Amino acid sequence: MRVGLVDAGSNTVRLVVADATGGVPLPVHTAKWKLRLSEQVGADGHFGEEATGQLVEALHKAVEVARRWGAPAPLAFATAVVRNAPDRAAVLRAVAQHTGVRLCVLPGEVEAELTFLGVRRWMGWRAGPLAVFDIGGGSFEVAFGRGRMPEFAVALPLGAGRLTDEFLGHDGPPTADELRALRRRARHQLRDATARIRWEHPHTVVATSRTFQQLARLCGAAPGRNGPFAERILRRGDLRLAIDRLAALPAAERAGLPGISEPRARQSLAGAVVGHTAMKLSGVRTLAICPWALREGILLRHLEDGADWWAAIEATHDTNGCGAGPDGQWGGASLDGGENDRYGIGDGDARAATTVSLLPLRSTPPTPTA
């Protein structure tokens, strides 16, 4: 069985074609198109014609490559950069009309759940109670669980690209006031989720995403050429020192540091600040770096639960309006339990969080100290 998966992220459109022999998704071909959509959308998140056209072109190429590699109908999903776009319905319609791709926009907490599944499969049951951190361009996901799927998952508007645009919008080294404002936002948004992690006291805490991988390399972890099975860790103390190194340089010069790629150099500092804040508030001193994440989680669910699972995802999160109502707003439950804000943006607040079962019923977790 051969499966294709297309991921339209904030920086890159990626294609993975995998064989499912033995129930494990083994990549046979990968490709990527660097679009940097998060930098091309307007200040209000609108795509507009140019960004939409580039996304359509990249997805068309991805489908052609997938077809040549024996996966003619790849699964396709988009993350926060499309999810938060006010004109997302128009973007998705353009994609469907010009490429035939049904691009599904997953809610943030569903992304966190699937990322957790990918990490659990990679780390195995010996990891015990497991917490997962994932930094994307538009959101930061936190999940915790003891089994195959998480007991809680939360998506917060703390993506490295989003925070860079809001707090570090110039190319020079940041000022002390800019860094303080960024840390305040991170502490405020992470307070409840990190309190839950601290309260659960997980046996293993894992970080995944390209941002965490590059920060770990900057802090001395093995390079990518050593392969996915090399053990990689990220220590909180090392990350704190890395923040100083990154903050001392203009954005363009950060790409000269070990592990920091040119496309992610600008947002590497914001990612480091959010990652360090999450570790500190959670009481975590060391993170294990995992190469599997959201894409692998989707492939695993597809292989384990069959094509009907993805069909249900597409039906639930409509690929023309992606779950939006007739007024373009979303419905459901919010962080505080409100029934009219399922995905945290129904009231138009782009900084709201998405979550499921954030706090346990049996007790109240302690307030962490910064």
d(CA 269, CA 161): 10
Hey, which residues does 7 pair with through a beta bridge? 14, 77
Give pLDDT, residue 121: 96
Give pLDDT, residue 318: 54
319 touches 123 (CB < 8 A): no
Give pLDDT, residue 319: 54
Q: CA 220, 222, 227: angle at the middle one, nearest 5?
A: 165
For the domain made up of 108-292, the CATH class stated in words is alpha beta
Give pLDDT, residue 351: 36
35 touches 55 (CB < 8 A): yes
Domain with CATH 3.30.420.40 in the chain: 2-105+295-316
The residue type at 7: D
- Ranges in the chain, pLDDT < 70: 317-370
d(CA 256, CA 259): 8
Q: Is 168 exposed, middle or buried (0-12, 13-18, 19+ CB in 10 A)?
A: buried
**Size of the chain, expressed as the number of residues it contains:** 370
Domain with CATH 3.30.420.150 in the chain: 108-292
Tokens 């904030």 belong to: 10
**Interval 87-106: pLDDT, tens:** 999 999 999 999 999 999 99
Count the helix, strand and coil residues of the chain and give each as a percent rounded to the nearest 5. 45, 15, 40
The residue type at 154: V
Give pLDDT, residue 11: 86
How far, in Å, are 1, 127, 137, 315 from residue 306 at the CA level?
A: 11, 27, 30, 15
Tell me the pTM.
0.85
Q: Among 1.10.730.10, 3.40.50.10490, 3.30.420.40, 3.40.47.10, name the CATH number for the domain at 2-105+295-316.
A: 3.30.420.40
**Interval 245-269: pLDDT, tens:** 999 999 999 999 999 999 899 999 9
The pair of three-digit structure tokens given for residue 119, joined into one six-digit string: 């990490």
